[in-house]
Amino acid sequence: MASIINQEIPEFSAQAFVNGEFKTITSEDVKGSWAIFLFYPADFTFVCPTELEDMAAHYEELKGLGVEVYSVSTDTHFTHKAWHDSSEAIGKVTYPMIGDPTGRITRGFNVMIEEAGLAERGTFLVDPDGLIQVAEIHAGGIGRSAKDMLRKVKAAQYVRENDGEVCPAAWEAGQETLKPSLDLVGKI
């Protein structure tokens, strides 16, 4: 399987439920700013609403960093609206909830569970050029942490803005980074 890192996001045009409205979102809309794609198996389930609610709790901070969040499942935008209207947790979501009933986007990110017609629990951080910088896939029973994704956003933005520097494990904004060089080989 080829790496998806630094690959361009697939072209798409899809309907989303956003703040009480239906809106068309395309791959071209994504380019020009940072984006998180949060794929999940299905609406009206168990782990999924906890993840979307967790991301909603960090959404304002992410927007402050210039990041848009797109949740994606193979449900329709109509189902997203019904879930939003009936779930206290999902009612907190104000970022776009993209419907992908054909699976085009889900397959484009290589997270389709073909035999089920559902998405894996996949998280992707996309840079302003439309290139994937972070890709994570979790088993269905393992929920994700928006706080950890927020840390990865800050690291990816730092690396993009500071050529020649890299962020070590568990790096937090304000901590020291590394400048790869021959002098560091075998010294860490």
Please answer whether residues 34 and 126 qualify as being in contact, where contact means their C-beta atoms are separated by less than 8 angstroms: yes
Provide φ and ψ at 71, rounded to 5°. Answer: -90, 145
Please answer whether residues 122 and 39 qualify as being in contact, where contact means their C-beta atoms are separated by less than 8 angstroms: yes
Q: Looking at the DSSP assignment, which residues form a beta bridge with residue 135?
A: 124
Please answer whether residues 73 and 108 qualify as being in contact, where contact means their C-beta atoms are separated by less than 8 angstroms: no
Please indicate whether residue 167 is annotated as part of the active site: no
Q: How far apart are CA 144 and CA 119, in angstroms?
A: 15
Q: Which of 48, 72, 111, 135 is catalytic?
A: 48
The catalytic site residues sit at 48
